[in-house]
């Protein structure tokens, strides 16, 4: 029985499938946690959701959290015109994967699945969240600060506010070498977003998966078919 965590799939279905089936060799007795951002930027947002929705039906234990891109799509589908949802090319790529022209037309089962995603999760030894926490807040308030949990790009980690647990998050694309260093150092806070979708950037372009029990880090390169995205600086 193993516990794995990964994050920021961004439509990279083939890379994610290869990670799950060949690198992790996920078994029904294992648990896979995914920390959000299933959509946008990459070539197959709908395919990623289909796969994530099918895995539990096939007997696998997969627990998914909410990311900022998932929330932004929900907001757009609910008619929140003030929300900024991706760039124009991102929107076209994402909506195209669903075969629709407007976010309101995305089939209801996908929107319902996204709407039910939790913001955070506590597991033995760890707290999981998409982006992070505002550790300056009292613990109870910190756990209700949805905006920070989805969007923060920097924070000062304070283990005492997590009852001594360590933190795993995504959201900020981080060079693979830096992630490897933090894992090796048993850092209190580990960011696992290695920017898989940025396939032209040699410092990124991987899906990272961490075994929460052995702290082994696996890096799966982007193996998607060609899609339009630039190099992230």
Convert 177-190 to b/e letters by CB count within 10 Å (16 or more is b): eebeebbeeeeebb
Q: Averaged over 75-83, what is the pLDDT?
A: 80
Q: Give the torsion through C-alpha atoms of 182, 183, 187, 190, to 10 deg.
A: 80
With a cut of 60, say whether residue 209 has pLDDT above it: yes
pLDDT at site 81: 60
Phi then psi dihedrals of residue 84, to 5 deg: -95, 115
**Mean pLDDT of the residues in the chain:** 95
The whole-angstrom distance between residue 12's C-alpha and the CA centroid of its chain comes to: 11
With a cut of 70, say whether residue 95 has pLDDT above it: yes
pLDDT at site 44: 97
pLDDT at site 214: 98
**Lowest-confidence segment of 39-43, 63-67, 118-122, 166-170 by average pLDDT:** 39-43
Looking only at the bridges linking them, the beta strands covering 31-34 and 3-6 are parallel
User: The tokens of 186 are what?
Assistant: 């048993």
Q: Which domains does the chain have, with CATH numbers?
A: 3-121+173-221 (3.60.21.10)
pLDDT at site 233: 44
C-alpha closest to that of 146 among 170, 167, 118, 188: 118
Which pLDDT tens digit goes with each residue over 141-159? Answer: 999 999 999 999 999 999 9
**Lowest-confidence segment of 61-70, 84-93, 100-109 by average pLDDT:** 84-93
How many whole angstroms separate alpha carbon 50 and alpha carbon 189?
Answer: 30
């Amino acid at each position: 029985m193993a516990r794995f965590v990964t994050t920021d799939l961004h439509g990279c279905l083939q890379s994610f499938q290869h990670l799950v089936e060949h690198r992790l060799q996920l078994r029904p007795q294992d648990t896979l946690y995914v920390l959000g951002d299933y959509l946008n930027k990459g070539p197959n947002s709908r395919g990623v959701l289909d796969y994530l929705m099918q895995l539990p039906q096939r007997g696998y234990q997969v627990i998914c959290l909410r990311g900022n891109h998932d929330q932004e799509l929900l907001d757009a589908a609910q008619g929140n015109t003030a929300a900024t949802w991706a760039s124009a090319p991102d929107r076209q790529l994402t909506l195209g994967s669903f075969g629709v022209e407007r976010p309101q037309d995305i089939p209801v089962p996908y929107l319902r699945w996204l709407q039910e995603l939790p913001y955070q999760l506590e597991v033995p030894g760890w707290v999981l969240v998409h982006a992070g926490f505002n550790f300056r807040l009292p613990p109870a308030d910190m756990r209700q600060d949805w905006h920070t949990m989805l969007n923060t790009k920097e924070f000062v980690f304070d283990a005492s506010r997590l009852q001594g647990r360590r933190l795993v998050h995504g959201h900020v694309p981080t060079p693979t070498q830096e992630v490897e260093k933090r894992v090796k150092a048993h850092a209190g806070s580990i960011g696992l977003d290695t920017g898989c979708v940025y396939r032209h950037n040699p410092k990124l372009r991987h899906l990272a998966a961490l075994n929460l029990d052995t702290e082994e880090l696996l890096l799966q390169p982007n193996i998607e078919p060609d899609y339009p995205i630039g190099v992230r600086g």
